[in-house]
Amino acid sequence: MHGECAITGAHVLAAGYAVHDGPFHASAREGLASYLIRLQTEGFARALVCGEVVDVRPGDLLCYAPGDPYMLSIGTLAHEAEADPLSGVKSTTASTLSVDYYVFCRGRWIDQWWGSEQRPCKVNIPLSDETLGLWRQLVWHYEGGQRARPGNLRNKSKVYDYILRALCLHLDDAAQSESETLAIGESLVAYQMKTFLEQHAGDDILIQDVAHHVGLSVSRAVHLFKETFDQTMVQFLQETRLNAACERIRFSRMTLEEAAESAGFRSYSYFYRLFRSHYGMSPKQFRANMK
C-alpha cells in the first residue's frame, strides 16, 4: 500500500511538531530525497532558501523539492527582562525557542501540486486556526499511525493522503489571501502588529513595544488593532500563548510548567487559572484527554 500511495497519492514519509530550546543544526547540502514543507510557528531560525541563508520567522512557510539543498540552524538569543503585560512578572532569562511543523512527502499528486504554479521557496502566511488545525491533524494521525498494528496501516495511509492534500491546497489559499490582504492600505500596519505579537509571544513584551515597532502612539496602535481584528492586543496575546501551550502539552514531552513558561507565561498559577477558564479543564486533564 505504501508503494501505491507513493505513486498515486500524497505519501507522508515523516511529519512532526518540533520544539527546539537550544542550538540545533541540520543539513542536506547534496539535496533532499523528498519534498519538505516546514512552517515556523514560534521563535526564529536560519535556513538555506534559494541558495541564500535567510532569517525564518513565525508564519514563514518553507517549501523544498527533491534535490534542493537544505540547511537549518537554530541558536540562542538573550532578551532584556521586562514586565509581562499579562502576568506582570519579570523574567531575567530567556533563550531562543524555535517551534515548527514539518512534513516530508512524495507522490504523484504532490508532483502535480508542486508543478501547478511557480512556487516560492519561502512565503509568510497567517497562523490561523485552520492552518494550525490541519497541521495538528496531520501530525496527530501520523504519530498514531506509527503505533498502529500492521493491519490498520492501509486506512492510516489513506488518512495521511487526504489530510496532506487538504493542507497543501489550504497553504496555497493562505499565501494568496495574505498577499491580497497586505495590499490594503492601513491594514498593513495592523497586520504588522499582529505578526510582531506572534513572533514575540514567548518573550516578555509590552504594548509599548508593539506601538514602537510600527511607529504609532500606544492609543492609536490599540485602537487600530481592535478595529481591525475585533479583539485587543492582550486578548490576542493570551490566545496565542494558550494555543502554543496546548500544542506543547499535546505534542511534546515538556512538563506542564515548562510548556507554560516556553509559551510566554512566567507565572504558572496565572496560566493555570487562564487555561481552566478558557478550556473548562486543568492542563493535566487536557493532557490526559489527548492520550
* pLDDT tens by residue, 176-212: 776 555 555 557 888 889 999 998 998 899 999 999 9
The Cα–Cα gap between 117 and 110 comes to 12
Task: Specify whether 84 is located in the same domain as 225.
Answer: no
243-256 average pLDDT score: 92
Average pLDDT across the chain, whole number: 84
Task: Specify whether 167 is located in the same domain as 197.
Answer: no
- Quick: pLDDT tens for 154-163: 666 778 889 9
Query: Is residue 92 predicted with pLDDT exceeding 70?
Result: no
pLDDT band at 79 (very low <50, low <70, confident <90, very high): very low
pLDDT of residue 104: 97
pLDDT of residue 40: 94
Which of 160, 181, 202 lies at the terminal end of a domain, its last residue?
181
Task: Specify whether 177 is located in the same domain as 157.
Answer: yes
Task: Specify whether 90 is located in the same domain as 41.
Answer: yes
Task: Specify whether 61 is located in the same domain as 80.
Answer: yes
Strand partners, 39: 61, 101
Query: Is residue 150 predicted with pLDDT exceeding 70?
Result: no
pLDDT band at 175 (very low <50, low <70, confident <90, very high): confident
Task: Specify whether 165 is located in the same domain as 193.
Answer: no
Residue 254 lies in domain: 187-290
Task: Specify whether 171 is located in the same domain as 213.
Answer: no
Query: Is residue 85 predicted with pLDDT exceeding 50?
Result: no
Query: Is residue 8 predicted with pLDDT exceeding 70?
Result: no
The Cα–Cα gap between 225 and 160 comes to 38
- Quick: pLDDT tens for 208-242: 999 998 888 888 899 999 988 999 999 999 999 99
Q: Are 99 and 43 in contact (CB under 8 A)?
A: yes
Grid look-up 533563550 returns 95
Query: Is residue 168 predicted with pLDDT exceeding 80?
Result: yes
pLDDT of residue 6: 43
Q: Are strands 35-42 and 60-64 parallel, antiparallel or unpaired?
A: antiparallel
Which of 181, 202, 236 lies at the terminal end of a domain, its last residue?
181
Task: Specify whether 284 is located in the same domain as 142.
Answer: no
250-261 average pLDDT score: 92
**Residue 253's CATH number:** 1.10.10.60
pLDDT of residue 134: 95
Which of 181, 200, 217 lies at the terminal end of a domain, its last residue?
181
Number of domains comprising the chain: 2
Task: Specify whether 13 is located in the same domain as 55.
Answer: yes
DSSP line for 199-235? HTTTS---HHHHHHHHT--HHHHHHHHHHHHSS-HHH
Task: Specify whether 102 is located in the same domain as 217.
Answer: no
Who has greater pLDDT, 145 or 6?
145
pLDDT band at 75 (very low <50, low <70, confident <90, very high): confident
